[in-house]
Amino acid sequence: MSNYAIVLAAGKGTRMKTKLPKCAFPILRKPMIEYIVESIERSSIDETVTIVGHGREVIEDLLVDRVKYSLQARQLGTGHAAMQAREHLEGKEGTTLILLGDMPLIDDATIDDIIQAHKDLNNDLTVVSASFEYPTGYGRILRDDFGAIERIVEEANATQEQRKIREINTGIYAIDNALLFDMLDKIEKNPYKGEYYLTDIVEVMNKTHKVGTHTLRDNQKMMGVNDLYAVSQAEKILRDDINKFHMLEGVSMINPETITIAHNVKIEPNVTIYPNTTITGDSRIEEAAVIGPNSEIHNGIIKQGVHVRHSLIHDSSVSERTTIGPFAHLRNGTNIGRDNRIGNFVEVKKSSTGDNTKASHLAYIGDSTTGKNVNFGSGSVTVNYDGVNKHETHIGDDVFIGCNTNLIAPITIGDNVFIAAGSTVTNNVPSGAMAIARNRQINKEDYAQNLIKPKPKTYQEK
Ligand code: UD1
Ligand code: CA
């Protein structure tokens, strides 16, 4: 028999006070809903329906065809949201897990554990609860004298006494799919808010079916994210967890509280990461690399033995043993070769370099390809933009580019070229040539004294 998931993600997230629909809001630069769907994909769930409404295009753009969608045109509550999955799931046999789109920390093991517990307990409905030290904001589990679940009360409707209960509703439910839609139909509008509360399914089913609870131990991971403070808490929990994982895998982190590594980043053992470093997106850091302090890598491939200090690397790769920084910026599909030195205040955009190339200080390299053993002197610039269009620069092997050189693109520089410092090079330079493109120097003998002002006299000299 199959397992199904319904993910409720149609709400606006009013408490977030942000423009993005809540479930698309990023946690460590990745949208919340993607975490949930990833965990579902790794679990024993066979088919997933996501309920969309507010900002549906944003959610659908993120998940594309990884899930099926049902539209909740008006957000009339969590119970009403779950009903919308009827078009995909009605009449199917199996177990359905209902999850909220605002619980990014749930993992696949927990999902499988819940489904297993539901089957082992032989329940028709299993409510997943957790025990929170600070239960504020969550629905509370009300139990009868025998300890059986009676119903769930939302905090807004709870008495002072009920608010003291620490056992909360995580918002996850496992239910026999054959019963699901009939039971949802029986939920009545909540008199306070005019919404259909999914939580009321407990009372609906308690009379006629077997309702139980499953309490999760890893409590923090069950948090619901409702506002930006909760975003920061979720990020902290995730950050600690991810950093711990990497440290136990042999990654050395100095002051790890200041280091942020996103969910899917791969880091090999024997890497060292210094403080204030953020590595996100589809990044991979290979063995013996040293990253940080104060560096940001997003979608970066960093090969063995590379050093990155005080630098920014976006959508770019750096090959073996190269040093980046301090204060370098690689972006937009840049590929740096082996044993390069990309140093102080150097920006490289959409460019590649061969092995052993150096741009140690104050250079801009854009829309270009560079061979091996090239030296960019301090202040060299590939002049790629004419105010309207971008143009390319191609540089061969073994080229020396003197300080303060402008290469006006489009331009091609051959192999074994020497360009004199201060040149503004507008024409291609053939292999083996030396190019010099600047005014010839004139020395006017004995002329300096006309320009040097006499020193001011001291008081005694007057
Ligand atoms: C809900 C539960 C609460 C539980 C908590 C756990 C209800 C009534 N309350 O409260 O018992 O302790 O989660 O985190 O279920 N959504 C829709 N359509 C709607 C309304 C909501 O799709 O009409 C989606 C939202 O996008 C969100 C999820 O359902 O992802 C939960 O909604 P939210 O408003 O955050 O519920 P809570 O107040 O946190
Ligand atoms: Ca919530």
Flag whether pLDDT at 459 surpasses 90: no
Go through the chain and tell me how many residues it has: 462
In tens, the pLDDT along 354-377 reads: 999 999 999 999 999 999 999 999
| Nearest CA residue ID for atom 3, ligand 1 | 139
Mean pLDDT of the chain: 96
Q: Assign 207 a pLDDT band (cuts: 50, 70, 90).
A: confident
Alpha-carbon distances, residue 351 vs 315, 347, 370 (angstroms): 12, 10, 8
CA of 124 to the centre of ligand 1 (A): 22
In tens, the pLDDT along 130-157 reads: 999 999 999 999 999 999 999 999 999 9
User: Between vectors from CA 141 to CA 136 and to CA 142, what angle results, nearest 5°?
Assistant: 120
Q: Assign 407 a pLDDT band (cuts: 50, 70, 90).
A: very high
What is the spatial distance between Cα 268 and Cα 272, in angstroms, rounded to a whole number? 10
Average pLDDT for residues 119-124, to the nearest whole number?
97
For position 460, what pLDDT does the model report? Answer: 78
What is the spatial distance between Cα 321 and Cα 357, in angstroms, rounded to a whole number? 12
101 alpha carbon, closest ligand: 1
Does residue 13 contact residue 102 with C-beta atoms inside 8 Å? yes
Catalytic residue among 88, 263, 361, 391: 361
For position 408, what pLDDT does the model report? Answer: 98
Relative to beta strand 312-318, strand 358-366 is unpaired
For position 30, what pLDDT does the model report? Answer: 92
**Residues in contact with 300: Cβ distance below 8 Å, sequence separation at least 6, in sequence order:** 279, 281, 283, 284, 285, 313, 314, 315, 316, 317, 318, 330
Flag whether pLDDT at 316 surpasses 70: yes
Identify the residues whose C-beta falls under 6 Å from ligand 1: 8-11, 22-23, 51, 72, 75-78, 80-81, 100-102, 138-139, 152, 154, 168-171, 197-199, 224, 226
Q: Assign 392 a pLDDT band (cuts: 50, 70, 90).
A: very high
User: Residue 51 pairs with which residues in a beta bridge?
Assistant: 8, 70
Average pLDDT for residues 229-257, to the nearest whole number?
97
Q: Which helix (H) or strand (E) holds 359?
A: strand 358-366
For position 366, what pLDDT does the model report? Answer: 98
Q: Which two tokens stand for residue 71?
A: 């539209």
For position 157, what pLDDT does the model report? Answer: 93
Alpha carbon dihedral 116, 121, 126, 127, in 10-degree steps, equals: -90
For position 458, what pLDDT does the model report? Answer: 82
For position 67, what pLDDT does the model report? Answer: 98
Atom number, ligand 1, closest to the C-alpha of residue 75: 23
Q: Is 361 a catalytic residue?
A: yes
Flag whether pLDDT at 462 surpasses 70: no
Average pLDDT for residues 226-248, to the nearest whole number?
96
Atom number, ligand 1, closest to the C-alpha of residue 52: 22
Q: Assign 451 a pLDDT band (cuts: 50, 70, 90).
A: confident
Average pLDDT for residues 388-405, to the nearest whole number?
98
For position 453, what pLDDT does the model report? Answer: 76
For position 19, what pLDDT does the model report? Answer: 93
Q: Which two tokens stand for residue 337?
A: 């070769």
In tens, the pLDDT along 168-197 reads: 999 999 999 999 999 999 999 998 889 999
pTM of the model: 0.86
Q: Assign 301 a pLDDT band (cuts: 50, 70, 90).
A: very high
Q: Which two tokens stand for residue 333?
A: 């599909």
In tens, the pLDDT along 19-73 reads: 999 999 999 989 999 999 999 999 999 999 999 999 999 999 999 999 999 999 9
